[in-house]
A and B are shown apart, each in its own frame.
Chain A
Amino acid sequence: MSAYVRPASIDEALELLGGDGAQPLAGGTDLVPLQSRGKAPGSLVDVRALLGDAIEPHGDGLLIGAATRVADVAGDGRVAERYAALSQAAGAAASPQLRNQGTVAGNLAQHVRCWYFRHPDLTCWLAGGDTCYAQIGDHRKHGLEAGDCISVAPSDLAGALLALDAKVRITGAGGERSIPIAELYARPREDHRSSVQLAHGELITAVELPAPPDASAYERAGERAAWTFALAGIAAARFGDSLRLAAIGLTNEPRLLDPADPLGDLPGLEQTGWKRELAGVLCERALARVSPG
């Protein structure tokens, strides 16, 4: 049972977020369900009203407020026209209600879907324990490479934004910074059990999209026709002659792949060889969709 507090300003929010167990709450679609799994944060700091919730022109690109609903990204005409991968990713994420309720920042920072991580009776390595149960257990949907943790990046938006070379604005006690989205994520480590590289007390405030690519596309495979996390999500974007290919669902963090050899260093694990094959097909298709002519 998380405590709830609603600060009146960003400064107040940052101060509260510095406290033990405090997490920023916007749509709540990730943090509130964690309660039923015994993984909820100690306190929820409601920042939704403090963050921008609109999509605005920004130079040659767009600026998306952190509290923008995923549904609004999916429904935005400019995004659909110029950043197709993002539009498709946002439209495929979760379910209609979760898209209405969930925000861009929440989607980017969400916890993994691994059924051991979310198991109410287990505390896996990623949750601060000692054992990665997936590696010794049922990891049919997990990643393609070995490591301390084999859970996979869940966020469709992150994959698309990585291919689109977006930046993320972050604010914290130490001030504001703007980083390429690739730097928002890294493989979890012993001393930082999360793929999301936000320091405690930091807050995503906006996503910056640069000038649009010549073409982009998102290919995705789920377990049913709708309301399913991606088994694999591949985003491709072509900027002139340069291609960017990004994957979620295959590695701990959204990963840029080499378009010439997308899965070269992702061998697949004992139970995920099939997923490697699937991902290969999606990479081919994504690249074909953005190729000229």
Chain B
Amino acid sequence: MAKLQKTTVEMEGRFEERWVLVEEEPPAWEDERPLNVAGTRVARLTGPRRVSGAARYVSDVALPGMLHGVIVRSPHAHATVELDVEAARAVPGVLAVLSPADADVTQGRNPIFQSEPTFAGAPVAALACETAEAARAGMEALAPRYTVLGFVTDAAQALAEQRLQEDPVESETGDVEAGMAEADVIVEAEYATAAQVHHALEPHCGVAQWLGDELHAYVSTQGIWDARTEFARAFELDPDRVHVTCEFMGGGFGAKQGATTEGMVAAYLSRAAAGRAVRVFNDRRAEGVAAGHRSETHTQTYRIGARRDGTLTAIEVTSVIANPMRGWIDPTTTPARTLYRCANVRAQAIPLLIDVEPSNAFRAPGIMEGTFGYESALDELAAALSLDPLDLRRANDVDVDQISGLPYTAKNLEACIDRAAELAGWAERDALRDREHPDGRKRGLGAACQIWWGGGGPPAHALVRMGHDGVVTVVTGAQDIGTGVTTAFAQVAAEELGLPLDRVRVEVGSTRYGVYAPVSGGSQTMPSVAPAVRSAAYDLRGKLLELAGDVFEVSPDDLQIVDGSFVSLDGALREPIVEVTGKLGKAQLVGTGSRGPNPDGMRVNTFGCQIAQVAVDVATGEISVERVVAVHDIGRVIAPLQARSQVEGGVLQGLGFALMEERVIDPTTGTVVNANLEDYKLPTHADCPEIVVEFINRPDPHASTLGLKGLGEPPIVPTAPAIANAIYHATGVRVRTSPITRRRFLEARAG
């Protein structure tokens, strides 16, 4: 029996109270329960379609009569613009032109096209055209004329001018002065991290068309339901009249939220073009300037006091961040406030405003940048104390969330540290460093840990339906952005129902089903949706057993479903499922499920430890990461093959952040000079280290009925500081700015 209940839901550390529909949930799987399908290595269900070219991504969608939609973007950091809209409209093949004159063309209540664009890449107009040539002719006729205005794109200048995006955020616990006075050693250091650009390989794109008064949109997005809400608001539509599909999309990493600007522009162009389908597809440059980025931390200043034995006595951290996410500026200081025990912490986050695009959550936003600074600072503290860096972490383990004071549902960071140390050969690291290697390079190991959220929560729903053939289809409005959740959902449903995996299908990626699931962000899909899938499967299982009881004239309580057959507890009866479902004819059995509320008075967090081994050619500054050991605690692991891939992928993005990725802005013109995949360096195959992945795999006793937590973001968090620390261990050179390029290493080495 469903009921409504108030509960606290969490997204990336933000908490809010909500009413949610709560349905009956099965009890949690016992820790020792043997699992047949969940928790086993299963190839990605969508693999064959993706690997054969058959999967149709949003950018592959081609509808009859589809028009080319192009967004015209300002090349200047700050300017005013004049456009010949009528001239553009007059060009044959140009069916619609939108411009700043269309003030009602909005996204989140702000006009999309600005007559005073405030960053290079800001949209100033858009056209819908029959052909690419018409688009070129249209843009030429539009003839944008810019008057360049003053701008500030340099964070140092913004700081000097006190250009703040919003008010700084400060927090203080305990007595920092007393803590510092108590310290035997105080380490002070300043770090900086460059802006990192998502550069998902599929650019932001969308296809929209109006069928009557209904909007049908395909958007490369992480949130089809947010997209639906945004479209509905923008066009003042009943949300049921908006259908958003995202079945296959080419990566997001946080950049693709809701309708995205590109999807919204497609919808507006389509409306202006009498409802004809319009595709908007960013070019790579737009992805590098106007599609989101991880904020630059101009400085992170740490002052950390500790006793001889490594106990932290006080921490002061000030983070100056350029264009952090509005209203959420302090996650950069969260690692310092929560990762290790310290009662006396003063934190300040100062948000600068520079004339570049607003940032967009990039996988573990804020936390990743802050962990680079904090875990590097602690490494420096360990050196100052002559302590093993891992012992320093062990000495300050804390099992409550220091911001709320609430205990964690489970914390196995120590187990992660111990296992990572074992796998990495930590005990022999000094011997590795001191040995002369035949290739003349210096080698060393460095470690770092992570904390992240990822408990998920309601609302998240699923349904499962089964017909006469005994095949079950899981339906939920989640989107698989490459994480492999589709497969995990199938495993959960198969496990709960007692079916072999080949009897399970999964449908995701459309709002049409009416089955809500949250945005693929904040590492919340698995912990939110998987329990809903299980709940739905549990509901269906109950119905199947009832029907089986009718057919076989036994009590449903005497039956189980094992490997696709009804089996009586005494083993006497064993009948394949189709003996019952075959009698359904055209009817479908449906189970519905919802994610239940989160535990009260607790915090659900994930923890992990990574250790990197580097080899450095000291004279040339060439840094190779040879090996990364990554041990993470996310509770129960449902889909180990896909989970390993998540970690490998996070490590590689962390490696890119550590060694080669930075958005470069020209000081004279305020424009990005490396908005392409040749100048902006992503790691290649040849840069890939050996990556050893392990999970603690202990079910979290309080986190949902599946005991699992999200994995999307944790693995990107500790990689970069582990690498920076390894470079220090190997060479004695401490580089405090990411990315640690050859130049930064050589200049740091020269002192």
Query: Do chains A and B interact in one complex?
Result: yes
Once the chains bind, are A278 and B620 in contact (CB under 8 Å)?
A: yes
A180 to chain B, nearest CB (A): 30
Which of A75-83, A134-142, A161-169 lies at the binding interface? A134-142
Q: Is the CB of A121 within 8 A of B685?
A: no
Segment at the A interface, from B252-260, B335-343, B666-674: B666-674
Supposing A115-B673, A140-B743, A226-B687 touch, asked if A281 and B619 sit within 8 A by C-beta, the answer is yes
A122 & B669 in contact (Cβ 8 Å cutoff): yes
B667's nearest neighbour on chain A, judged by CB, is: A137
Contact with A along B674-688 (1 / 0, CB 8 A): 100011010111110
Instruction: Give Cα A282 to B622, complex, Å.
Output: 12
Which of chain A's residues have a CB closer than 8 A to the CB of B686?
224-227
Say yes or no: is B741 at the interface (Cβ < 8 Å to chain A).
Answer: yes
For A113, A115, A122, the residue with the greatest tally of chain B CB atoms inside 10 Å of its CB is A115
Q: Which of A115, A121, A224, A275 contacts B687 (CB 8 A)?
A: A224
- For window 166-208 of chain A, which residues contact chain B by CB distance below 8 Å? none
- Is there a chain B Cβ closer than 8 Å to A36's Cβ? yes
Decide if A231 is an interface residue (CB 8 Å cutoff): yes
Q: Which residues of B contact A224 (CB under 8 A)?
A: 659-660, 681, 683-684, 686-687
- Given the known interface contacts A225-B624, A228-B681, the answer about A116 and B687 at a Cβ–Cβ threshold of 8 Å is no
**Could you tell me the distance between the alpha carbons of A121 and B120 in the complex, rounded to whole angstroms?**
10
Partner of B666, one of A138, A225, A231: A138
In the complex, residue of chain B having the shortest beta-carbon distance to the beta carbon of A281: B619
Given contacts A133-B666, A137-B667, A278-B746, contact A225 B283 (CB under 8 A): no
Interface residues of B in 684-709 (CB under 8 A from A): 684-687
- Pairwise interchain contact A121-B666, C-beta atoms closer than 8 A: no
Which residue on A lies nearest to B671, using beta carbons?
A121
Query: Is the pair A137, B668 in contact by a Cβ cutoff of 8 Å?
Result: yes
Task: Fill in one digit per residue for A217-236: 1 if any B CB lies within 8 Å of its CB, else 0.
Answer: 00001011111110100000
Complex Cα distance A121/B684, Å?
28
User: Is B684's CB under 8 angstroms from A133's CB?
Assistant: no
Closest B-chain residue to A136, C-beta based? B668
Would you call A223 and B666 a contact (CB within 8 A)? Answer: no
Contact at B687–A1, with CB atoms within 8 Å? no
Q: With a CB–CB cut-off of 8 A, which chain A residues contact B120?
A: 121
In whole angstroms, what is the CA distance A185 to B742 when docked?
Answer: 29
Q: A232 → chain B, closest Cβ, in Å?
A: 9
User: In whole angstroms, how far apart are the Cα atoms of A113 and B678 in the complex?
Assistant: 10
Interface of B is mostly: loop
In the complex, whether A274 has a CB less than 8 A from a CB of chain B is: yes
Q: Which residues of B contact A121 (CB under 8 A)?
A: 75, 120, 669, 671
Question: B673, A138: Cβ atoms under 8 Å?
Answer: yes
Q: How far is the CA of A113 from the CA of B681 in the complex (A)?
A: 14
Contact of B679 among A115, A221, A231, A278 (CB under 8 A): A115
Chain A positions within 8 Å of B75 at CB level: 120-121
Contact B743 A281 (CB under 8 A): no
Interfacial chain B residues near A225, Cβ < 8 Å = 624, 684, 686-687
Partner of B136, one of A1, A223, A227, A278: A1
In the assembled complex, B39 has its CB within 8 A of some CB on chain A: no
**Least CB separation from B674: chain A residue:** A115
**B746 adjacent to A137 (CB under 8 Å):** no
Pair A281/B620 contact, Cβ less than 8 Å: yes
A274:B685 contact, CB within 8 angstroms: no
Complex Cα spacing A76 to B75, Å: 46
In the bound assembly, the distance between CA atoms of A229 and B679 in angstroms comes to: 9
Q: How far is the CB of A9 from the nearest CB of chain B, in Å?
A: 31
> Is B664's CB within 8 Å of the partner chain A?
yes
> Which B-chain residue is minimally distant from A229 (CB atoms)?
B678
Measured CB to CB, the nearest residue on chain A to B685 is A226
CB neighbours (8 Å) of A1 from chain B are 136
User: In the complex, are the beta carbons of A138 and B669 less than 8 A apart?
Assistant: no
Any B CB within 8 A of the CB of A277: yes
A58 within 8 A of B: no
Q: Is the CB of B620 within 8 A of A282?
A: yes
B172 is an interface residue with CB less than 8 A from chain A? no
Select one of B667, B681, B684, B685 contacting A138, CB under 8 A: B667
A133 — which chain B residues lie within 8 A by C-beta?
666, 668-669
CB contacts (< 8 Å) of A275 on chain B: these are: 743
**A69 to B150 alpha-carbon distance, docked (Å):** 48
Contacts of A138 in B (CB 8 A): 664-667, 673
Contacts of B671 in A (CB 8 A): 119, 121-122
A277–B667 CB distance below 8 A: no
In the complex, the answer to whether A274 meets B669 with C-beta atoms within 8 Å is: no
Q: Are B620 and A227 in contact (CB under 8 A)?
A: no
B683: chain A residues within 8 A (beta carbon): 224
**Residues in A90-131 with C-beta less than 8 Å from chain B:** 113, 115-116, 119-122
CB-CB under 8 A for A231 and B684, given A120-B285, A138-B666, A223-B660: no
Q: Provide the bound-state CA to CA distance between A286 and B665, in Å.
A: 35
Is B621 close to A, CB under 8 A? yes
Chain B 624-682 residues near chain A, CB threshold 8 A? 624, 659-660, 664-669, 671, 673-674, 678-679, 681
Chain B residue nearest in CB terms to A282:
B620
A274 touches B747 (CB 8 A): yes
CA distance A120 to B667 in the complex (A): 17
Given known A-B contacts A36-B283, A116-B666, A231 and B742 have beta carbons under 8 A apart: yes
Shortest Cβ distance from residue A292 to the other chain B in the assembled complex, whole angstroms = 21
Complex: how many Å from CA A91 to CA B75? 37
Tell whether A278 pairs with B684 under 8 Å between CB atoms, given A116-B673, A133-B666: no
Q: Which B residues lie within 8 Å of A137 (CB)?
A: 666-669, 673
Enumerate chain A residues within 8 angstroms of B674, measured Cβ to Cβ.
115
A168 and B305 alpha carbons, distance in the complex (Å): 66
Q: Decide: A119 near B673, CB < 8 A? Known: A274-B743, A278-B742.
A: yes
Chain B residues within an 8 Å CB radius of A140: 743
Least Cβ distance of B688 to chain A in Å?
Answer: 9
B681: which A residues are within 8 A, CB to CB? 223-224, 228
CB A116 to nearest CB in B, in angstroms, measures 7
CB distance from B348 to the nearest CB of A (A): 30
Given A1-B136, A138-B673, A223-B660, the answer on whether A274 and B684 have CB atoms closer than 8 Å is no
Q: How far is the CB of A272 from chain B (nearest CB, A)?
A: 9
How far, in angstroms, from A71 to B66 measured CA to CA in the complex?
40
- Nearest to B73 among chain A residues (CB) is A121
Closest-by-CB residue of A relative to B283 is: A36
Among B622, B673, B678, contact of A221 (Cβ-Cβ < 8 Å):
B622
- Give, as a whole number of angstroms, the nearest-CB distance from B751 to chain A: 13
18 A/B residue pairs, CB under 8 Å, sorted by A: A115-B673, A121-B75, A121-B669, A133-B668, A136-B667, A136-B668, A137-B668, A224-B686, A224-B687, A225-B624, A225-B684, A226-B686, A228-B681, A274-B747, A277-B750, A278-B742, A281-B619, A282-B620
**Closest A-B pairs by Cβ, 10 of them:** A121-B75, A226-B686, A225-B686, A115-B673, A281-B619, A225-B687, A274-B743, A137-B666, A274-B746, A226-B684
Given contacts A121-B120, A137-B673, 6 further A-B contacts (CB under 8 A): A120-B75, A120-B285, A122-B671, A133-B668, A224-B659, A274-B746
